[in-house]
Amino acid sequence: MTLSWSTAFFPSAGVYTVYHTNKDNKSIIEVTSDGVTKMQTEKYEYHSYPYNSTHISFEIKNVSLEDAGYYAGGVTSE
């Protein structure tokens, strides 16, 4: 499954984090303007290029019931 959305901005300094929220917020991908850092598992693959694009796209591999919930991104989990 591939998920994507557009964001109003991408921080030029700092980290943009993709979160999965079900019972709690957990960071699954952290992206900097230099490239992807910290993919939490091999289950996820970041597709957006350039890495500082405001169009966020990533893949969830082998989708299961544990992947249900909400996905969002930003500089904080709020």
pLDDT in tens, 29-76: 998 877 777 887 889 998 888 887 888 899 999 999 999 999 998 887
Contacting residues for 60 by C-beta, under 8 A, at least 6 apart: 1, 2, 3, 43, 44, 67
Whether 77 has a pLDDT exceeding 70, the answer reads no
Q: Is pLDDT at 22 greater than 80 in this prediction?
A: yes
pLDDT at 68: 93
Q: What is the DSSP string of 39-59?
A: ESSTTEEE--SSTT-SEEEEE
Q: Does the global pTM surpass 0.95?
A: no
